[in-house]
Amino acid sequence: MAGTVKAAILRGRKTVETVVEGGLNTVDTVVEAGFNTVETMVVEGRKKVESAVSLGRKKVEHTLLHDRGTMQAAVLHGREDVRIEDVPIPQAGPGELIVSVGAALTCGTDLKVYRRGYHARMIVPPALFGHELAGTVVEAGEGVSGFANGDRVVALNSAPCGVCYFCQRGQENLCDDLLFNNGAYAEFIRIPARIVSKNTLHVPGHVALEHAALTEPLACAVHGLEDSHPHPGDQIAVIGGGPLGLMILHVAALAGYEVIAIVKHDGQVEAARQLGAAHVVQTASIRAAIRDTRALTPKQQGVDIAIEAVGVPDAWQEAVELVRKGGTVNFFGGCAVGTHVSLDTNRIHYSNLTLRATFHHTPAMCRKALDLIASGRFQAGAFITGHAHLYELNRVFEKLMNRSSEIKTAIVP
Ligand SMILES: [Zn+2]
Ligand SMILES: [Zn+2]
């Protein structure tokens, strides 16, 4: 009897165990399947929510942009008269972009414009100004291809026509119909269709917008060096420690040339060394600068190439005195309208000098410049020595006029 009962109990326990185990497995499977389903639903749901949010944000941004109607922008009214005003937010016409300015950089040209109150070729007051910028696309006009909302871009300050005599010969910087764009000192800027299609570039994700904004001046510097046709081993003297002088010397040093920087101010000596100048000549007088520079060349014969990046007659004359027989002078710095310079014709002729004067940039140079910035070899950070808000623009220009050691200030609207 006892044996039968025991066997029955054991059988019963096994049955219970089997049922329980089976049940547990089933529960596990159900729970697991449930988890999977829930996870899938969560992931899908999140995706849906995210895309709805992004779509909604775009709609809201677009509506806000145009409901808001106005933006803050710097308006030049005349000599040393810049006012921060509410102006209409531009709208994108066919082929155009509206870019939310991430950073606009101060430039020697803008400083000249601020001082003079106009620019012969580009600006008649009252006008928006500022031309070195990078930002984010917030509106793309009808027919724009290659750019969409949210894209980070650098939009250059000009674009050539592509069809005139000069464009056809690869001298787009001299285009008969060069289209300029200004208005970077503002929250938003309209980019004309021709600049969108010919001279607007995508900024790689790892490049800060304020660094990308250096593309314009750097394109001029790269152009200036290439146009001087340097040869390996050349000694190159760069006159001037302003933003462009420093940029040219840095580009030349990166390309492996021995650079002699000729500068005036203490702060520029430091900057020139940091940016790769092999020698820095700092003197008050031009005569001493010529002597000290020649002393750094074989038999004091003079440098292979002298690039003038100041834009005053004295510096143009100095450049001609710096080069060796058969050397090249590049008058890179533009002087004020109506300036005349007297040069030693005997020296130019009997020393068989090549005189060049590089102006502006071409779309190809702009691409090279952004590539150089993106490569990380170019010390972009060294050129931006300050940050300021749009409403501080007057103070920034006053400071730049008083020749501090500032190179460029990033204006963040
Ligand atoms: Zn500039
Ligand atoms: Zn043209």
Between the CA of 131 and the centroid of ligand 2 the distance, in Å, is 20
Q: What is the pLDDT of residue 301?
A: 98
pLDDT at 116: 85
Tens of pLDDT, residues 203-256 = 999 999 999 999 999 999 999 999 999 999 999 999 999 999 999 999 999 999
Per-position b or e across 201-225, b if 16+ CB within 10 A of its CB: bebeeebbbbbbbbbbbbbbbbbbb
CB neighbourhood size of 380 (10 A): 20
Question: Distance from the CA of 214 to the center of ligand 1, in angstroms?
Answer: 8
Q: 3-class DSSP state for residue 96?
A: coil
Answer whether residue 56 shows pLDDT above 70: no
Going from the Cα of 170 to the center of ligand 2, the distance in angstroms, rounded, reads: 9
Binned at pLDDT 50, 70 and 90, residue 293 comes out as: very high
- Provide the pLDDT confidence category of residue 36 given band limits of 50, 70 and 90: confident
Distance from the CA of 316 to the center of ligand 1, in angstroms? 21
* Contact of 244 with 108, CB cutoff 8 Å: yes
CA 361 to centroid of ligand 2, rounded, Å: 13
Distance CA 189, CA 165 (A): 30
Quote the CA–CA distance of 133 and 382 in Å, as a whole number.
17
**Spatial distance between the Cα atoms of 193 and 92, rounded to a whole number of angstroms:** 9
Beta-strand pair 258-263/279-282 = parallel
Centre of ligand 1 to C-alpha 347, Å, is 33
Task: Tell me the ligand closest to 383's alpha carbon.
Answer: 1
Ligand 1 centroid to Cα of residue 217, in Å, is 5
What's the full length of the chain, in residues? 413
Q: Which ligand is nearest to the CA of 163?
A: 2
Whole-number Cα distances in Å, 302 to 51, 268, 282, 346: 65, 23, 17, 16
Dist CA 165 CA 158 (whole Å): 18
Give the number of other CB atoms < 10 A from CB of residue 22. Answer: 10
Q: Which residues contact 5 (CB under 8 A, 6 or more apart)?
A: none
Residue 391 in tokens: 């409403």
Confidence band for 16, pLDDT divided at 50, 70 and 90: low
